[in-house]
A and B are shown apart, each in its own frame.
Chain A
């Protein structure tokens, strides 16, 4: 019987160098078969042809502070159109010497939004913080207190206006939408039909037509001498519009609840309000977070439609800069900056919704 057990240590063979490490990763993910190899090569070619010229245009050959005539000489980006007009783009008509006020108001808003992202802070104190914050922002924007000069809302513009329209439109449309959804599910025929008519009417027209109604036709109906703030009119139109869409999404969530949930609530002896508040809505609203956020994001972007009724939101104040002959033609640079700002807003919203979904995930 020969020796079976060898005392010599077996040499451990390493896997081929092409299967591990960077090379292995490249092989597995980029050159896995002829089809993916061709795709990889094509992608590299595409990137090679686009990224370096873009980088040269945006950074190497660009001008950051030069005037319009210098900008026309260079073939890179002319960021100075934004740099030189940044205060008008951001603050619009807000009096030049008082522009620190909307700046602080925006910082307060960002701070509050940042805190509100974290669910650990969702306590009574946060509600107080929002109340104090909103009042402070109102005082800062409007003035008339503490020696601050009064600035009428007609002079508000730029980014603060976009944020104001978005935050209020979204924050007020959401509860209104939930109420409408509950109304549509109601057993009371009058309430039900009113909600159905409202939702279908609003969903049957584009937002632009509502904005036109608010800004052009509505004033003709008002009695003599009564004028209603233009911003308020646009805001109401946006709230009414967004609420109708949210209502339909929430209705989807309500219909997704099994009857067992309602019966369980009934057997506990809960009344309608408590059933909704404690059992149905928490679950229904949770399952419709993704479509709700989609609607909120598109509503945020829709605020730029107020351009057509001459409110100077971020987009309009940027466009105005472009009609100055010195800066005519540098639309790319301006729109890129505006797009980045909108992207930041939309991305943080969708990011927050994913975080919220994860936090609220109970597995059923």
Chain B
């Protein structure tokens, strides 16, 4: 009996030892694809199209990681996850990386044992109001009725904002987005609050989108970033620098169309970036062509932004905070050297 117990303890120790030894990069290479957790349906970020193919900014970020690791953006499988499922799925190693509009917070970084890499979208909560209300700042919303979804941080943020500004407000809590839109456009509330990226989508379905404006105040910070587990620094570096590479490429003016021409560039930073001067890929444990593959197959950050959520899409979002730092935005990649 005693020997059985000892055996169990040894087996458990060995199992845990196995956990700490096998890195995600090796696991991923062994199985031949990256398992990415994504949102089941947020237009522009992660959503299947009418052919069942995934499209969006988060999805393309995951494809970029696959391009970096395998040189093939198609070697990624998407697992749609709900808000409740997403963190346990990452913790239990069902997925290798989570690209699901997840806000970076202190508790998630620490208590939940996760690491957020570079931000791929800066979101924030805002207000949508009808133009005829004659309001051009959220500070004028005293006594407003506000349509809001229940149970999310959205409701809490709105409460904080109104209390903090000493304004009266009356929340109208509606469970689902479709009903929420209907109530707002039917005039049941003075304004609608949600993340700005969502407000744009909601405005686009208004009977007359031009009649509504998004107020300039953003009342919460929502840095959305891909997430990996604690304790695997190499994998963290790969995912982190994949996002950075998307940004760096835009800054260097490298796009999916001109990347082949850029291989002949004489600029040292472009030569290093594209692997013409070797070294960076090897440092990450990847092929030196990793960044070339990302840009060739997925495009740079600007291209992804334009085709997913940019002004010509149904969302029609401006770059704003998500512009390059050189254009007054927050997108800033660490030097590639």
Q: Which residues of A contact B (CB under 8 A)?
A: 72, 84-85, 87-88, 91-96, 152, 154-155, 157, 212, 215-217, 219-220, 222-225, 227, 308-310, 312, 316, 319-326, 328-329, 331
Q: Specify the chain A residue showing the minimal Cβ separation from B315.
A: A325
B183 to chain A, nearest CB (A): 11
> Is A219 in contact with B94, judged by CB distance below 8 angstroms?
yes
**Which residues on A sit within 8 Å (CB–CB) of B267?**
none
What CA separation (Å) do A157 and B91 show in the bound complex? 25
Judge whether B205 is part of the interface by a CB distance below 8 angstroms: yes
In the complex, which of the residues A72, A219, A320 contacts B48, with contact meaning CB atoms closer than 8 Å? A320
Interface hub of A215, A319, A328 (most chain B Cβ within 10 A): A328
A328 touches B181 (CB 8 A): yes
The answer to the question of B207 belonging to the interface, with a C-beta cut-off of 8 Å to chain A, is yes
- A157, B40: Cα distance in complex, Å: 13
Are B315 and A87 within 8 A (Cβ)? no
What residues of A have a CB within 8 angstroms of the CB of B171 in the complex? none
Which stretch, B79-87, B231-239, B288-296, touches the partner chain A? B79-87
Interface positions of B from 17 to 63, Cβ below 8 Å from A: 18-19, 22, 27, 40-43, 47-53
Cβ of A123 to closest chain B Cβ, rounded Å:
40
Complex alpha-carbon distance, A312 and B39, angstroms = 12
Task: Mark interface residues in B219-255 (1 if CB within 8 Å of A CB, else 0).
Answer: 0000000000000000000000000000000000000
* CB under 8 Å from chain A, chain B span 80-112: 80-82, 84-85, 88-89, 91-94
Q: Is the CB–CB distance between A219 and B205 below 8 Å?
A: no
Chain B interface residues (CB < 8 Å from chain A): 15, 18-19, 22, 27, 40-43, 47-53, 77, 79-82, 84-85, 88-89, 91-94, 177-179, 181-182, 201-202, 204-205, 207, 314-315
Which residues from A are CB-within-8-Å of B22?
Answer: 224
Question: Which residues on the A side are within 8 Å of B92 (C-beta)?
Answer: 219-220, 222
Chain A residues with CB under 8 Å of B91's CB are: 220
- Decide if B18 touches A224 in the complex (CB within 8 Å): yes
Could you say which of B47, B52, B94, B204 has the most chain A C-beta atoms within 10 Å of its C-beta? B52
Minimal beta-carbon separation of B266 from chain A (angstroms): 44
Per a CB cutoff under 8 Å, which of A84, A220, A225, A310 touches B40?
A310
Can you list 18 residue pairs at the A/B interface with Cβ under 8 Å?
A72-B207, A85-B50, A87-B50, A96-B51, A154-B77, A219-B88, A219-B94, A224-B93, A309-B82, A309-B85, A310-B80, A312-B80, A319-B41, A321-B50, A324-B314, A325-B43, A328-B178, A329-B182
A323 touching B177, Cβ below 8 Å = yes
A152 to B32 Cα, complex, angstroms:
14
Given contacts A227-B94, A310-B40, A325-B205, contact A84 B50 (CB under 8 A): yes
Q: Which residues of A contact B79 (CB under 8 A)?
A: 154, 310
Q: With A219-B94, A329-B178 as given contacts, are A323 and B43 in contact (CB-CB < 8 Å)?
A: yes
Cβ–Cβ < 8 Å partners of A88 in chain B? 48-52
B158 to chain A, nearest CB (A): 22
Contact status A96-B181, CB under 8 Å: no
User: Across the interface, which residues of B come within 8 angstroms of A85, CB to CB?
Assistant: 50
Most buried by B among A93, A223, A227, A329: A329
- A325 with B40: CB separation less than 8 A: no
Beyond A225-B93, A323-B47, A326-B314, list 7 extra A-B contacts (CB 8 Å): A87-B51, A88-B50, A88-B52, A225-B27, A323-B43, A324-B314, A328-B204
Q: How far is the CA of A224 from the CA of B81 in the complex (A)?
A: 21
Indicate if the CB atoms of B201 and A316 lie closer than 8 Å: no
Q: Which residue of A lies closest to B31 (CB)?
A: A225
Given the known A-B contacts A92-B52, A310-B85, are A320 and B40 also in contact in the complex, defined by CB atoms under 8 Å? Answer: yes
Q: Are A324 and B47 in contact (CB under 8 A)?
A: yes
**Shortest beta-carbon distance, A142 to chain B, in Å?**
16
Kindly list chain B residues whose C-beta atoms are within 8 Å of the C-beta of A157.
52
Given A323-B42, A328-B205, also A96-B85 (CB < 8 A):
no
Report the separation of the CA atoms of residues A321 and B182 in the bound assembly, to the nearest whole angstrom. Answer: 17
Measured in the bound complex, the distance between the Cα atoms of B40 and A324 in whole Å is 12
Could you say which residues of chain A place their CB within 8 Å of the CB of B81? 310
Shortest distance in angstroms between A308's beta carbon and chain B's nearest beta carbon?
A: 7
CA distance A321 to B48 in the complex (A): 8
Give the distance in Å from the alpha carbon of A95 to the alpha carbon of B51 in the complex: 8
Q: In the assembled complex, which residues on chain A have CB atoms less than 8 Å from the CB atom of B18?
A: 224
Q: For A154, what are the chain B residues with a Cβ–Cβ distance below 8 Å?
A: 77, 79
Q: Are A223 and B15 closer than 8 Å at their CB atoms?
A: yes
Question: Which residues from A are CB-within-8-Å of B178?
Answer: 322, 328-329, 331
Residues of chain B with a CB closer than 8 A to A323's CB: 41-43, 47, 177
Q: Which residue of A lies closest to B30 (CB)?
A: A225
Chain A residue with Cβ nearest B52: A93
**CB proximity of B201 to chain A, nearest CB, Å:** 5
Q: How far is the CA of A227 from the CA of B88 in the complex (A)?
A: 13
Given contacts A308-B82, A309-B85, A323-B177, contact A93 B48 (CB under 8 A): yes
Q: Among A94, A217, A223, A308, point to the contact of B52 (Cβ < 8 A).
A: A94
Quick check: A329 and B181 within 8 Å, CB to CB? yes
Point out the residues of chain B lying under 8 angstroms from A95, CB to CB.
52
Expressed in whole angstroms, the minimum distance between the Cβ of B187 and any Cβ of chain A is 15
Chain B residues contacting A212 (CB-CB under 8 Å) are 84
B207: A residues at CB distance < 8 A: 72
- Chain B residues with CB under 8 Å of A220's CB are 88, 91-92
Nearest-neighbour CB distance to chain B for A248, whole angstroms, equals: 31
